[in-house]
Each structure stands twice: as structure tokens, then as C-alpha cells.
Amino acid sequence: MTISEKSAYLKGLMDGLSLDTKSDEGKMIAAIVDLLGDMAKRVTDIEETTIAISDELDEIEEDLDAIEDYILDEDEDFDDYEDDEDWDDEDEEPEEGFDFGDEDSTIYEVTCSCGEVINFDEETLEKGSIVCPNCGETLEFSLEDEDEE
């Protein structure tokens, strides 16, 4: 039995009992049965909407799978092209700078006494020191000057 059917059954029981809807108890029971009927309609609407959304998501998933297959087929074509002798890597510009993977992070730069330029992020700055990969010297820095400004 569905929720709507159960609600209708309760409404029928209430009508079959010939409750006096003018008494306090009768008013309360009638209000509860009406509330249950409204809730049953809402739940049914939500179930139908959920089914429709699920169907749409299934269609979107199928479309994305088709796009993925199309893109992967194109990547295979590029793999063939990379083996071709006409492929020229010299036309590509090399990436410059140091990439931490987060474009929003601030990159700091310090030059060691040995001349090595070292790039580091805010996490390293908070630690207060870094070891030069060239000479092994520990470079220390403080955030005090920055806080005063």
C-alpha cells in the first residue's frame, strides 16, 4: 500500500466512524487526517521529481561518457602524431618560474650568499627557515618586519 492509499484509507475510516467534527477530539482527528493527506501528496510529488531528476542525470552521464570517448579517441590521434618526425618541440615555449600547483599562493624568492636563488611558499615562510640546496646553508627569515607595516 502506498502512502497515498494509506492516507485515503485513514480518511475512509474517519468518515466511517461518523466522528463529530464539531467536538474537540473530532476536529483534531480530522485535522490530522487532512495533514496526512497533504503530506502524502507532497511525498508523491517529491518521488516523481526525484525520478525525473534521476532520469536526467542518467542522460547527462551517457552524454559525458560519449564526450569522454570522443576526447580519448582524439588523444590517440595525437599519440600517433607525436611519433611523426614532423613534430617539432622547439616551437613550444618553456615554462618559466616555479610552480607550486596553486596559482593563488604567493611565491617568495631569496638569494643565498652562494648566489643560489631559492623560491618558496608561505608555508615555508611561516616555518622561518630554509636550507639552500646548493651549499646547505640554513637561511632564516622573520615575519616581524612584515607585521609592523
* Each residue's pLDDT tens digit, 112-141: 889 888 888 888 888 888 888 889 888 887
Residues 119/98, Cβ–Cβ less than 8 Å: yes
Q: Look at 78 and 18; give whichever has higher pLDDT.
A: 18
Look at residue 68 in the predicted model and tell me its pLDDT: 92
d(CA 105, CA 99): 10
Query: Does residue 83 surpass a pLDDT of 90?
Result: no
Look at residue 92 in the predicted model and tell me its pLDDT: 53
Distance in angstroms between the alpha carbons of the first and the last residue of the chain = 72
Confidence of residue 149 (pLDDT cuts 50, 70, 90): very low
Residues 114/134, Cβ–Cβ less than 8 Å: yes
Look at residue 51 in the predicted model and tell me its pLDDT: 95
Contacting residues for 113 by C-beta, under 8 A, at least 6 apart: 135, 137
Query: Does residue 87 surpass a pLDDT of 70?
Result: no
d(CA 41, CA 36): 9
Tell me which residue has cell 602524431: 81
Residues 139/118, Cβ–Cβ less than 8 Å: yes
d(CA 43, CA 46): 5
d(CA 104, CA 108): 13
Retrieve residue 136's grid coordinates: 646547505
Retrieve residue 73's grid coordinates: 579517441
Q: Any bridge partners for residue 118, and if so which?
A: 110
Query: Does residue 86 surpass a pLDDT of 60?
Result: no
